Amino acid sequence: MQQFKREHYIYTALIAGILLTGLAMYLFFHSKSKSIMGVVEVSEFQVRAHQDIRVVELRVKEGDYVNIGDTLIIFEPLKSHTDQLPPLIKSAIEDEFHNQKFSTKQLYDIWQEAKSHLRIVKSYYHKAQQQYQQGLITSQERDKAYIDYQAYQAHEQGVRHVYECSLAKGLGKNMPCGFKTCENAVIAEVEGEIGTLNIHEGETVRDGTFMLFIALLDNPWGVFSLTKKEAQEIRKKDSLMVFCHAFNQNIPMKVLYIQPQKKKQKEKKQYVLKAYPTQNYDGLRPGMQLNIIK
């Protein structure tokens, strides 16, 4: 009798274990199939060639963090059509466009003008930031204002450097300017992380070619693809809890918009959701996997 009871308990425990395992697997795969996956995205500042060049040296690699003024690429200009012109005409063009000389006073005035422009652009960026937080403009408009601000900031710093070099020279100080080196270098105009590199050392690059992009990490967001039913459910919410796999933690996000995604006629209608973290999370990088928690 006791042997029968023991066997009965063992069989009962085995069956219960199998049922619990099956239930756990069902819940796992069921929740996985119902999850809404997404990725982290950021604004990207594209760096393009402004003339035909040969890449002499790459000073950065993918994943490097750069600041405004850092050297990205050393290049060698390729011969232009002006090299085929008669010497007198070529000399006149170079004198007009490449060999302009400025006094220290003129450089100071140019610097002050650059500072004035920077103040205007900075004020516009702060205004755009406020309008974005109030929901009056899109994130794209705010991002453009930020990129303009960063570019004008880099310009002001460059002009100030040239002026200080000229001033030091006038005072008899031996201050290396590096202006000629900068003429054959691509300088970072924004702060961020180097993304895809589209060029290699020794490569010939044509005017307008995309060379690399710099990811602006101060303003990441999440992008998700939704079905019509999921979009209808989330429209009722203004905030979400999103699981970041890289951080292994939940991140609260605010819904910016949900809009239809362009699809072919035969495909089911999909929607795109864009959401921003409600607080700053250092370390968010483009391509990180996200999961909306229902």
CA proximity to 279, closest of 252, 239, 256: 252
CA distance 176 to 23: 72
Give 230-234 contacts, CB < 8 A, sequence gap 24+: 230/36, 230/271, 231/258, 231/271, 231/273, 234/258, 234/273, 234/292
3-state helix, strand, coil in the chain (%, to 5): 40, 30, 30
Strand partners, 36: 292
CA distance 48 to 217: 20
| Other beta carbons less than 10 A from residue 167's beta carbon | 14
Per-residue confidence (pLDDT) for residue 183, from 0 to 100: 52
Per-residue confidence (pLDDT) for residue 12, from 0 to 100: 61
Per-residue confidence (pLDDT) for residue 49, from 0 to 100: 87
Hey, is 155 helix, strand or coil?
helix
Per-residue confidence (pLDDT) for residue 15, from 0 to 100: 60
| Residues 72/53, Cβ–Cβ less than 8 Å | no
CA atoms within 13 A on the CB side of 62: 10
* Contacts of 240 by beta carbon, 8 Å cutoff, 6+ apart: 234, 252, 253, 254, 255, 275, 292, 293
CA proximity to 164, closest of 178, 185, 153, 149: 178
Per-residue confidence (pLDDT) for residue 249, from 0 to 100: 92
Structure tokens at 199: 């060029």
Give 231-240 contacts, CB < 8 A, sequence gap 24+: 231/258, 231/271, 231/273, 234/258, 234/273, 234/292, 239/278, 240/275, 240/292, 240/293
Q: What is the pLDDT along the chain (294 residues), one digit of tens a residue?
A: 555 455 555 556 556 556 556 555 555 544 444 578 999 999 888 888 888 888 988 999 999 999 887 889 988 887 644 444 445 544 544 444 344 566 778 888 888 888 888 888 888 888 888 888 778 888 778 878 887 877 777 777 777 777 777 777 665 555 444 433 345 788 888 889 998 899 999 899 988 889 999 998 888 999 999 888 888 888 877 889 999 999 999 999 999 888 888 765 566 778 999 999 988 888 888 889 999 987
Query: Residues of the chain with pLDDT > 70: what percent?
Result: 72
Per-residue confidence (pLDDT) for residue 238, from 0 to 100: 81
pTM flag (> 0.85): no
Per-residue confidence (pLDDT) for residue 97, from 0 to 100: 37
